[in-house]
Structure 1
């Protein structure tokens, strides 16, 4: 299987190579892959990106569990300073063969586009493989804090006026101006 054209990292695993007892797989992003992922997701440098996975199941259904961990630099939304941050995201994804996925869809009400679902739809096994590199990049993205804060950073609002003005006083003054 070739990686999806927009895949940031690709580590395909053939479903046929997964023994009945299961398979443990570690995906570690290269320096070039980490640089591209940082560029794509707008983070600072990523020092480490590792996915640790356990794969269990049959040729029709594979359950992937594990964690994605990263050490990266992010910019604090309060101080605008870069700071080192860590990410740890739990992974649980079910992959199904196209035939099994079709049966699953028939047995479950698949909501219209944009509607919430009670249960996540399994991912499809494509060409007899699952790509743990894509899983690693996706769960890295899911684990990113959209508003990262440097430890101890606090937003402080300071009013330049010497006296504190009540919001009710502002409303009262506003209604006086409208009466004039």
Structure 2
């Protein structure tokens, strides 16, 4: 048995439950799952998470199409203050059978753009919940800016993105010369 804890939002779908017709489903995270997701992604709070999905068997692949709706709180990258965020994100994921070959630490992995939305499955089952959790992580703004970010940035003497860009330095030099 594995010592690893199950994913925070695990929803297992057995491949034997999939037929020719698409399978529709919905995931609604409970309070405990929301708390665990917030901890996993270093967020102050995940208030709600709902994902609607459709699974389609496509030969060796299982394709998942869906919509993720999340209410959460993030920390502003400028002020450090928490602020509410609503995410509404479509996702597409292809589940493929896990390959038996093991990679050595020296092995290079090359990913094509279409590989970024691919997840492996094994034991004839997929975890659509973990796929949704990973889709949430990808939807998060890595440098979130709260409602007061611009004001606080000016108070701290930080430059705006336009001022700090490659032409910002030229503009500052022009101001000094002219």
Deviations 1:82-135 (A, max 9, x none): 11111223211111335xx68xxxxxxxxx635442430743331111111101
Whether the 8 Å CA contact 1:77–1:148 is kept in 2: the answer is yes
Instruction: Find 2:137's aligned residue among 135, 138, 141.
Output: 141
State the 4+ residue runs in structure 1 displaced beyond 3 angstroms.
Answer: none
**Post-superposition offset of 1:22:** 0.5
Q: Pairwise mapping of residues 1-180 of structure 1 onto structure 2 (< 5 A)?
A: 5-58=5-58, 60-98=60-98, 113-120=108-115, 122-151=118-147, 153-154=149-150, 155-156=153-154, 158=157
Q: Max radius of gyration: which structure?
A: 1
TM-score (structure 2 length as normaliser): 0.72
Structure 1 gap ranges (5+): 103-111, 160-165, 171-180
| C-alpha distance in 2 between matches for 1:72 and 1:125 | 29
TM-score (structure 1 length as normaliser): 0.71
- Count of residue pairs brought into register by the alignment: 151
| C-alpha distance in 1 between matches for 2:80 and 2:120 | 41
Distance 1:158 1:119, change over 3 A: closer
Aligned residues: CA RMSD: 2.9
| C-alpha distance in 1 between matches for 2:47 and 2:113 | 36
